[in-house]
Structure 1
Amino acid sequence: MDSKSRAHTSAKQEWIFQLILHLTVFHFVIIDHEHGQMVYELDWYQLAFFANYVCANLLISYVLLPRYLYRKRYLEFAVYCLLIVVAVILIEEFVLEKIFFPNTRGSDFQGAILSLGEVLSVLGALTGVKFAWDSIHRQREIDELKLMVKDSELSFLNSQINPHFLFNNLNNLYSYAVEQSPKTPEIILGLSGVLRYMLYECREAFVPLLKEVEQLRNFIQLYELQIEERGAVDFTTKNVSDNYQIAPLILNVFVENAFKHSQSGQSDEIRISISLAVDDTGTLHFSCVNNFEPTDFSNGENQGIGLKNVKKRLALLYPERHRLEIEQKGKEYRVSLQIKLQTP
């Protein structure tokens, strides 16, 4: 449904609601009390008096509210509302009552106070409900806008993942190709499998946890080829099943950083430990620990978009449902992440 059709539907719903509201208020206006019982008295003068209220309400609801109150011009709104109330009372006392009650109520202005109470109660009900309707509608628009912004930001962040991964691995692949390493075809095959998953299998906002862990295992094996015999990589999982879903590629950045930082400052004795477990409450516990030799690269400014990206994604996808701790002690870099997973 386009914006024009949506606006037309909303306007139609509002006018139907206004009709029901006015009929409901009119129902209470024509009720009279005699001997402790409610009696309905419908006469032409009641229709005329209520029509006077309806005109005033429409003027306040569809002119004063959007033009003054919603634009925070409160003083002007109050002044014009006061003038409208005065005009309603004058019309009621000097026009309508002169027509329908020429010899009784319309002969003087003694009923002005009574009229003021009735006018304020009826206009307060009609205008108040209109204000509430507008507030609900504006909140719905704000929620839709927030959702659009969230989806747009997630799309932008996701679009950064593939180029970021591809850039890092193509550099490594280039080095192996220059050295004519026999592992080059194996790396290309592994890279192709990971990219296939990124492009075709994780288009949804959430994917089965088991499939994501399998992809993460392939991702680790791809990087493990690059360190050859220079260290050890340990990857363990526990209680992983398809009973839960997770945002795709949310863990890859931490693994990628672990390999990158470990290799940047040392040529051997690389140690990387990665663990992933799901407890009985459906909380994912992810840990990634690696050793490294401090260099200018690891001092902060050149860490790239990876960590910033994943922190934003976590904040958008798991608000108040995740806990991320990144700690550097000496020559050890430790990442701990807990995520409250969702079921399919």
Structure 2
Amino acid sequence: MPKFLFKRKYILYITLFFTAIFLMVLAKFNLTYFFISNQVWPEGPEPITSLSLNYVLDMMIGEVYVITFVTAIKVTLDFLEKQKRVTDLEKTQLETELLFLKAQVSPHFFFNTLNNIHSLALEKSDKTPRIIMRLSELMRYLLYETKSQRQSLSNEICCIQNYLDLEKIRHDDLLEVNMSISGDIQDKEIAPILLLTFVENAFKHGVNKNIGVIKIDVDFTVKEDFLYFTITNPLPVITKIENIFEHSSGIGLENVKKRLTLGYNQDDYKLTINNDNKFTVSLKIKVT
């Protein structure tokens, strides 16, 4: 019968429900009368030896109480199981999004960095050990330390610092990066690679599509339970301003928006993207 309830066939369910209860009462009456005692209803207002309307109604009401209680338990257990499935599905989806975002950290960035290491090694440059160490730390973070739904804010910032150091070595004097941190970043947590995606996007669309000296501003400000993150990069000179949002938001930022929706409550974050004169991403996000 429950399948009719779940299929929303309520009239059929109610009909079968009360029919089943009546048959149970009828069976109880006959079993008691023929096998136990002819006093079928000793607790009733008067002894009976045959099926009566009062007996049927009294027994059916009692059975309804019991079945309603059991049904409530069953519905509650089914609801909890459904909620668990939804939670597991969301967790799986978040993990899939994270794996995709890890792959989004541009492969060409790693190839270019390796080429730079090769060139520096041929020149026997003193920068070679430092760039290898930065690349190693960045890859270790991406591969092994981003499996949980939350990562410490300090680790995320350290990862971004390594990324910026590698980019500065790549672009040398053609890149100016101003990074500032204020507030207490200890004991704060954030979804991993969330901020790194914004940084990677700034280089992909702001640095690689411009010529001359490029300036990137990155700011981390922690106030109470929230992080105020801002990154600013120049608009691509090869892209028309009216189309900048379409080109600059890209797949990476769209995935960040999905991760924010899945991983945070609506009141826990606010994402603002502005493309007036410069491309600026501002994110207010809860980090407790």
Do the two structures share a fold, i.e. TM-score over 0.5? yes
Q: Please, what TM-score do these two structures have when normalized by structure 1? A: 0.69
CA contact (8 A) 2:227 2:284 kept: yes
- Corresponding residue of 1:259: 203
1:198 corresponds to which of 142, 156, 177? 142
User: After the TM superposition, which of the residue ranges 196-205 and 235-244 deviates more from structure 2?
Assistant: 196-205
Distance in 2 between the 1:302 and 1:288 partners?
13
Deviation, 1:187, is 4.2
Shift of the 300–90 alpha-carbon distance from structure 1 to 2, 3 Å rule, reads same
2:84 to 130, 144, 147: 144
Q: Deviations over 1:111-154 (max 9, x none)?
A: 41x33442342122111112211111111111211122122112
Equivalent pair of 1:278/1:285 in contact (CA under 8 Å) = yes
Amino acid at match of 1:106: I
Shift of 1:165: 1.6
Distance 2:49 2:133 in 1: 99
- Deviation, structure 1 residue 278: 0.9
C-alpha separation between the residues in 2 aligned to 1:238 and 1:299?
29
1:167 Cα deviation after fit:
0.7
Shift of 1:255: 0.8
Equivalent position of 2:178 in the other structure: 234
Residue 230 of structure 2 contacts residue 281 of structure 2 at CA under 8 Å; is this kept in 1?
yes
Q: Is the 8 A contact 1:289 1:335 kept in 2?
A: yes
Query: Contact (CA 8 Å) 1:324, 1:335: kept in 2 or not?
Result: yes
**Residue 124 (structure 1) aligned to one of 41, 47, 64:** 64
| Aligned partner of 1:300 among 242, 246, 249 | 246
SS of corresponding position for 1:119: helix
The structure 2 residue matched to 1:338, chosen from 250, 275, 284, is: 284
Q: Distance in 2 between matches of 1:302 and 1:235?
A: 21
Q: Which has the higher contact order (CA 8 A, sep 6+)?
A: 2
Separation (CA, whole Å) in 1 of partners of 2:31 and 2:83: 47
Secondary structure (helix, strand or coil) at the match of 1:334 reads strand
Deviation at 1:194, TM superposition (A): 0.6
1:149-298 aligned at under 5 Å gives the runs 149-173=89-113, 176=116, 185=128, 187-280=131-224, 282-296=225-239, 298=244
Distance 1:339 1:70, change over 3 A: same
Structure 2 counterpart SS, 1:277: strand
Q: Distance in 2 between matches of 1:107 and 1:193?
A: 87
Q: Distance in 2 between matches of 1:164 and 1:322?
A: 22
Q: Percent of aligned pairs with the same residue?
A: 21
* Correspondence 1:38-117 to 2 at 5 A: 64-65=1-2, 67-88=3-24, 90=26, 96=32, 99-100=38-39, 105-106=47-48, 111-112=52-53, 114-117=54-57
Question: Any gaps of 5 or more consecutive residues in structure 2?
Answer: none
Alpha-carbon contact 2:138-2:163 (below 8 Å) kept? yes
2:105 is paired with a residue whose SS is: helix
Structure whose CA Rg is larger: 1
Displacement, 1:108? 6.4
Matching residue's letter, 1:292: L
C-alpha displacement at 1:338, in angstroms?
1.0
Amino acid at match of 1:323: K
**Secondary structure of the residue that 1:243 maps to in structure 2?**
coil
Per-residue deviation, 1:211: 2.4
**Distance change (3 Å), C-alpha of 1:313 and 1:299:** closer
| Structure 1 residue 274, shift from structure 2 partner | 0.7
| Counterpart residue number, 1:327 | 274
1:191-228 CA distance string (max 9 Å, x none): 22210122233333322222222222122222222332
Quick one: structure 1 residues 306 and 187, their matched pair in 2 at CA, closer, same or farther if it must change by over 3 Å? farther
Q: Is the 8 A contact 1:210 1:240 kept in 2?
A: no
Q: Is the 8 A contact 1:209 1:240 kept in 2?
A: no
Aligned residues: 273
Gaps of 5+ in 1: 1-63
Contact 2:150 2:191 in 1 (8 A): yes
Code of the residue aligned with 1:172 in structure 2: it is N
The Cα of 1:279 is off from its aligned counterpart by 0.7
Return the offset for 1:241. Answer: 3.1
Deviation at 1:237, TM superposition (A): 0.2
The alignment's TM-score, normalised by the length of structure 2, stands at 0.81
